[in-house]
Structure 1
Amino acid sequence: MISKFEYTTLAPTEDIQQLGSILEQCFLMATGDSETYINRVGSENFRVIYRDKQVAGGLGIISMGQWWGGQRVPMAGIAAVGIAPEYRGGGAAIALVKHTLQELHTQEVPISVLYPATQRLYRKAGYEQAGSYCIWEIPTETIQVREQTLPLQSVDVSNHQIFHDLYHQQAKLIHGYLDRNQVIWQALIQPDGQETVYGYLIGNKEKPQGYIIVSQHSTKDGAILKVRDWVILTATAAQTFWSFVASHRSQIEKVRWKSSVIDSLTLLLPEQTAKIHSHDRWMLRVIDVVKALEMRGYPPGIQAELHLAVQDDLLVANNGKFILSVANGRGEVTKGGKGEFQLDIKELAPLYTSLFTPQHLQLVGKLNATETALSAATQIFAGDSPWMTNFF
């Protein structure tokens, strides 16, 4: 199926225009928006697939990192996968994704993450559910947190570097958080239409304890304050976060923010009036088994050994038996072993990210393991439920 298509980088202006037209049709963009998006990501970071010398579709690759167990793992974010209508259903999409994975493997990229429009396509390429993207909502009048314990400093969001160090302090502690590419930061502060994006440092400007980036929206259900991004590093910063959003109650009916499925910020609320507005799952693909397992962090104090047997029909270097030895929060992988923990490459994703426990995965037939191997894997991959705040 792959041989029917030609895979290459995006270069000629005419091809950029063709891909832009495809993306605008696929993602309901306004005319010209695709050019802005392609320029933001960088045309050199797009890949296209041709059929009979015509652009059949393309995608963007955003190079960044992701935090796992307190360690940064290099990651390729896959974005804007679009196929022209006349080429859909003919294998163009899976060919494009598989070619991209093969390229990333030669570049020794450990993992890849994407948001799926359809899971079936990406599962064929070895991706699986791996973490959450969750938007919470609360009626402003029910927050009932009034005391502002720290000062707030208004800042210009276009200078987003002012937020980077604070974000990094929080990101490395959260399972699945991004080490953001500039593309992600630019999208974060970019206004949608006529809106204005506001930014505030929480605490003293010389030593802030967090920040909040917001925008206001009028909808048929009333005015909404959207928290585009936030960092909370202390308990007093968390208190100030809630008092700040509550101060909008005279004009704003609801507040929305992104957080984990179990949000510790809601513990400061007097009642359980905050609800999950939407919940999606992103998918991850292990591209290099050895690098992915060795670069990830593990629970400190655990010393264990897991004998894996991995099946990967696309990237043959991932096939076979591996021994993962974990001590002092780090892992080492060697070839060989007993193969007591058997799974397909896509099932390695939710195990790797701690989205599901080994017992849960075995219960639904996603792996086959001995009791000893299950026990070792449970210790090794114990962690908080993975999540991130950025959609790409």
Structure 2
Amino acid sequence: MAQFHYQAATGDNEIKHLSQILSQCFIGSPSESLDYINQIGASNFRTIGINKQLVGGLALIPMGQWWGGQRVTMTGIAAVGIAPEYRGGGAAITLLQQMLRELHDTGVPISVLYPATQRLYRKAGYEQGGSRVSWSMPTSAIQLRDRLLPIQSVESIEINRFVELQQAFAQRQNGHLDRHVAIWQERLKTDDKTPLYAYLIGEPPQGYVIFTQRRSVEQSTLQVRDWAVTSAEAGRSLLTFWSDHRSQIDKIGWTGAAIDPLLLLLPEQSAKQVSSMSWMLRIVNARSALEKRGYPVELETELHVELQDDWLTENNGKFVLSVSEGKGDVSPGGRGDLKLTIRGLAPLYSGWLTPLQLKWTGLLDASDSVLTIATQLFTGSCPWLPDFF
């Protein structure tokens, strides 16, 4: 067996070598990979090597994620790459094992990633937790004239103009991020060839939209980079604002939920999904994850769980989740009425699938009465992310 070593990326030479590996893995240039490493922060990268040979690495992006109205500390995993000549030899599995051990030992409750392949990450205990959906709609089909709130152009497009509104919106959406600064920078990146436009909705602001415009031979498109609304009036005003571009813009493109409440405001079912992808969630510390998320305030109940985690054995065993006044408390013991693996806990925790659906897939087992309790605890808004990392 190969003897791998896992460590934080150190030194200019190692960072340069890692950028070369990642550029080949993700079909880019070394300079682009180096820019990405610097944007995320070199201290947030981990490497895997054999003897003194670096063979791959990944990025740890420290963030938060909103669940049940509460912020849960989360580490996003990105840029997982192994040099092609070392693939199939256990480097990727070892990299993930060591990474999860580090996250657990440092108290991180959950982790999220976008998979290039689900098989690898399922071995590590990740499972589908939510969606990221690209939508498209003809401007002529919006047909709203609800100018309920004023729309104000933002001349100086800076992060601090939008953070508070984004957080107010994110707190109401299961799965949304408390973003790392690098994600904000990507949202606001622009150049002379692609002007960036931003508008606040309402006074005081109840939402915002940030977008670019492009024209091709076939059509012109308003592509939304980021948006947030915190009231029904802001949602209708946003759609009306998009509609007001119909004389020059043929199509609106944006990222939303698989089941998007914004679409309910439209007169007809005119929006179409362009693409959809599922991101994956890993419960790193089961007790902390369950205690940090929010629950229905009016619910007082107990869920007796038996959990199996082959990689982080601290999560193994029986425990009782007690919920009161919207908060959870985990104590060891109990009857183990709901039996599941760490993979099954991810879509249960996020509400991506109902407990009954998870039972159908074989990811958990429980009686009908226990399934009812679990459904009351974890069913919420459709978990989704506008961000890719």
Which TM-score tier does this pair reach, normalised by the shorter chain?
over 0.9
1:370 corresponds to 2:367: yes
2:157 and 2:201 mapped to 1: Cα distance?
Answer: 17
Q: CA deviation at 1:92?
A: 1.3
Number of the residue aligned with 1:48: 47
Q: CA deviation at 1:222?
A: 2.4
1:70 and 1:18 mapped to 2: Cα distance?
Answer: 41
Number of the residue aligned with 2:307: 310
- 2:269 equivalent among 259, 269, 272: 272
1:224 and 1:94 mapped to 2: Cα distance?
Answer: 42
8 A Cα contact 1:157 1:198, kept in partner? no
Decide whether aligned partners of structure 1 residues 54 and 220 sit closer, same or farther in structure 2, where only a CA change above 3 A counts.
Answer: farther
Q: CA deviation at 1:233?
A: 1.6
Number of the residue aligned with 1:174: 173
- 1:352 equivalent among 349, 354, 357: 349
1:203 corresponds to 2:202: yes
Please say which of residues 120-129 and 233-242 is displaced more in the overlay: 233-242
Number of the residue aligned with 2:134: 135
Q: CA deviation at 1:147?
A: 4.3
- 1:1-392 → structure 2 map (5 Å cutoff): 4-156=3-155, 158-191=157-190, 194-204=193-203, 207-219=204-216, 221-392=218-389
1:44 and 1:111 mapped to 2: Cα distance?
Answer: 20
* Runs of at least 5 residues in structure 2 that lack an aligned partner in the other structure: none
1:258 and 1:44 mapped to 2: Cα distance?
Answer: 30
CA deviations on 1:37-71 (whole Å, 9 max, x unpaired) are 11110000000101232221111111111111111
8 A Cα contact 2:59 2:78, kept in partner? yes
8 A Cα contact 1:129 1:282, kept in partner? yes
Q: CA deviation at 1:345?
A: 0.6
Aligned AA (1:74): T
Q: CA deviation at 1:15?
A: 0.9
8 A Cα contact 1:308 1:323, kept in partner? yes
8 A Cα contact 2:19 2:30, kept in partner? no
Aligned AA (1:50): G
1:89 and 1:191 mapped to 2: Cα distance?
Answer: 39
Q: CA deviation at 1:259?
A: 1.1
2:21 and 2:103 mapped to 1: Cα distance?
Answer: 24
1:69 and 1:170 mapped to 2: Cα distance?
Answer: 13
8 A Cα contact 2:157 2:198, kept in partner? no
1:22 and 1:228 mapped to 2: Cα distance?
Answer: 29
1:210 and 1:289 mapped to 2: Cα distance?
Answer: 35
Aligned AA (2:254): W
Q: Partner of 1:149: helix, strand, or coil?
A: coil
2:135 and 2:267 mapped to 1: Cα distance?
Answer: 16
**Percent identity between the two aligned chains:** 51
2:189 and 2:216 mapped to 1: Cα distance?
Answer: 20
Q: CA deviation at 1:247?
A: 2.3
Decide whether aligned partners of structure 1 residues 159 and 239 sit closer, same or farther in structure 2, where only a CA change above 3 A counts.
Answer: same
Decide whether aligned partners of structure 1 residues 89 and 158 sit closer, same or farther in structure 2, where only a CA change above 3 A counts.
Answer: farther
Q: CA deviation at 1:149?
A: 2.8
Q: CA deviation at 1:156?
A: 4.1
2:335 and 2:216 mapped to 1: Cα distance?
Answer: 59
Aligned AA (1:362): K
Q: CA deviation at 1:280?
A: 0.7
CA deviations on 1:215-254 (whole Å, 9 max, x unpaired) are 1234565222111111112222222211221222233221
8 A Cα contact 1:157 1:197, kept in partner? no
Q: Partner of 1:32: helix, strand, or coil?
A: helix
Q: CA deviation at 1:278?
A: 1.0
TM-score for the superposition, normalised by structure 1: 0.95
TM-score for the superposition, normalised by structure 2: 0.96
Q: Compute the RMSD of aligned alpha carbons.
A: 1.6
8 A Cα contact 1:299 1:382, kept in partner? no
1:31 and 1:349 mapped to 2: Cα distance?
Answer: 35
1:323 and 1:376 mapped to 2: Cα distance?
Answer: 13
1:113 and 1:157 mapped to 2: Cα distance?
Answer: 32
1:214 and 1:359 mapped to 2: Cα distance?
Answer: 40
Aligned AA (2:33): S
CA deviations on 1:157-183 (whole Å, 9 max, x unpaired) are 641111011111111111111111111
1:97 and 1:385 mapped to 2: Cα distance?
Answer: 28
